[in-house]
Structure 1
Amino acid sequence: MKEHNSTYNIGNAALGFRTEVERLKVQALMGWDKEFRNLKWYGLQNGMSVLELGSGPSYVTEQLVNSLPESQITALEIDRTLLDEAKNRLQHIPSSKLRFVNSSVYDTGLPDHSYDFAIARLLFLHLHNPVEAAREIYRILKPGGKLVIIDIDDGIFGAVSPNINLLPSVLQKLADHQASKGGNRYIGRELPRLLAKAGYIDIDMDTVLQHSDLHGIEGFKRQFDINRFKVFYDNGIINEEEFEQLKQASENINNSPEAYAMMTFIMACGKKPEHY
């Protein structure tokens, strides 16, 4: 198996393992209805063989199993701790419906032409070699199979009210920090060219919006938990004024009924040609 080649490691989570898993749960579930609607629009159907890449604690995996009762879902995750967490939580689901694979997205070990549909949610922003990963997924898709990438672009992050004047500078600094480690928080805008470079055709993309008035404030409370940003302040990545504005935003979202937040996610789809 190849090395991790990713900027995400739950062992380094500022909030600790259990709190980070809970954050991932809320993040996965609050926009699922919209994401699943778009996945079906891109061609996902019940009965297909479906691969989820970077499945983490498998909250999205569980939704796929429930939403596609006649499909076999494969959840691929390189982090053994996260995979064990998912296996323990979903042990009631029979292996005929759900299979777990401990492997890298760069070198899955899965056979050629074996999946109808692949989904990578909030994975590609962390990858050092996203085109290499997209090519590996291309290999294991059936002819005509599709890959959908759901990811972020901090250039169109969303909005917070009351406004955080220094949010653009904070996002830029966090993006620069992630880039220095090999990731890309602006990956959303690059997805069409990335998919094309990896050989996909019929490429399309769209956005999915999550708004606290529609999806609940809980997920946004966790996204703006000030303890997630304290490590960046402690390490000098963001300055005191930026940290104080984030702290105020966190307090507003937690305590003020007037506060709201909106986040933008990118969905991009590419197809493996029927004949290649």
Structure 2
Amino acid sequence: MAIRSRTSAPRSREAGKVDDVVAMLDWHAGNHGVRRLREWAHRALAVRPGERAIDIGAGTGSETHRLAEATGEAIGVEPNPGLRSVAVQRSRSARFIDGDTLSLPFDDGSVDVVWCERVFQHLADSSKVAREVARVLRPGGRAAVLDTDSGTTILYPGDRVVGEAVACSTLDAAVDPYAGRKISGHLAQAGLEIEDVGSQALHQDGTSFNWSFVRMLADTAVRAERITAEQRDAFLDDLHVGAEQYALHMSVTMFAVLARSAHRRQLVLAQLRRERCSPLLHRVVFPGWHCVDHRCGTIGCGLFEGV
């Protein structure tokens, strides 16, 4: 695969906290909802031997490894050197490189399959990554983009208003906490065709509940003066009672969007639909076809019909 000269990438995770990040990623990978959604996305991508695949924001490399097993050639792009080292140790079948998600080190149209999981939430403008995905995909290439949407967080039982205030603290944990709901729009605006959208609730019950994380969220809500310390303590007590009664519930929804790069004529057609007709471009791309865009006035420019 042709790879452009590497550029320095922004470091979104501190190297000194690699062990904590790895533990979090491993815990996330073990969640039943994550596993189901990943499986659904992999089946839809239907990666074939000989295809070229990349994993943007590869983390510990679990999905890069799976792509490599299917295609024989997969590259994980991970800017954090600590995580990249873990990925190399865990997967001998995939390759891992440094890289900037906003300027991927790959040539235009050089990739068949793109996997991008929980990257959009770390960026203020994830539309730039969507454009990079569209740029590197070959005509007909496929992409799976997955991310959570913190605005869907649910905590139960307990006072509803207090629970919503605590859940609101999850919005502070990501640069774009609403990334999940924006994926389709970003990919479509980048010129990709949306083929399907899936979702899963990432559920925690009493057996898998991350108490330290929820306590941190509750403390954050107190510091932000959304709730009082007394309300926090009462809410946490309610959660513990719920756990004893097998009624504890915490969830957030994760979305997966499957998209495909349009073929050359479709890409040009999409551009012409957005812009005023270009007779010269019509004659070059669609020679001899009839134009049905009445603004153009060019006989035989070939826009739309026959595409």
Structures share fold, TM-score greater than 0.5: yes
Q: Higher Cα Rg: structure 1 or 2? A: 2
Residue matched to 2:39: 37
Q: Bigger relative contact order, structure 1 or 2, given CA contacts below 8 A and separation 6+?
A: 1
User: Which residues in structure 2 correspond to 1:197-276 (within 5 Å)?
Assistant: 197-212=189-204, 217-218=207-208, 220-221=209-210, 225-226=213-214, 228-229=216-217, 232=220, 236=224, 239-241=227-229, 243-244=232-233, 247-248=236-237, 251=240, 257-275=246-264, 276=267
Q: How does 1:139-158 map to 2 (within 5 A)?
A: 139-157=135-153
1:117–1:146 CA contact under 8 A, matched in 2:
yes
1:229–1:243: 8 Å Cα contact kept in structure 2?
A: no
> What are the superposed Cα offsets for residues 10-46 of structure 1, whole Å, 9 maximum, x if unpaired?
458xxx5423321211202324541233214533324
Q: Does the 8 A contact of 1:195 with 1:203 survive in 2?
A: no
- How far off is 1:202 after superposition? 3.2
Match of 2:98 in 1: 102
The alignment's TM-score, normalised by the length of structure 2, stands at 0.70
Which one of 55, 58, 78 corresponds to residue 55 of structure 1? 58
TM-superposed CA distance for 1:109, in Å, is 1.2
Instruction: List aligned pairs for 1:105-184, cutoff 5 A.
Output: 105-157=101-153, 159-163=154-158, 165=160, 166-175=162-171, 177=172, 183-184=175-176
Structure 2 spans left out of the alignment, 5+ residues: 1-6, 268-307
Q: Which residue number corresponds to residue 190 of structure 1?
A: 182
Matched residue, 1:19:
20
- Closer/same/farther in 2, CA of residues 217 and 115 from structure 1, 3 Å limit: farther
| 1: CA distance, partners of 2:57 / 2:38 | 17
Alpha-carbon contact 2:47-2:67 (below 8 Å) kept: no
Count of residue correspondences: 255
Give how far 1:141 is off: 1.2
Q: Which amino acid aligns with 2:260?
A: K
Q: Distance in 2 between matches of 1:217 and 1:21?
A: 21
Using the TM superposition, give the Cα deviation of residue 205 of structure 1 relative to its aligned residue in structure 2, in angstroms: 1.5
Confirm or deny: 8 A CA contact 1:83 1:100 kept in the other structure. yes
Q: SS at the partner of 1:155?
A: strand
Over 3 Å counting, the alpha-carbon distance change for 1:121 and 1:252 in structure 2 is farther
Partner Cα distance (1:160, 1:234) in 2: 16
Q: In the superposition, relative to structure 1, how do residues 2 and 239 fare at CA in structure 2: closer, same or farther (>3 Å)?
A: farther
What is the RMSD computed on CA atoms of the aligned residues? 3.2
Higher mean Cα deviation, 119-128 or 232-241? 232-241
Contact 1:57–1:83 (Cα < 8 Å) also in 2: yes
**Structure 1: gaps of 5 or more residues:** none
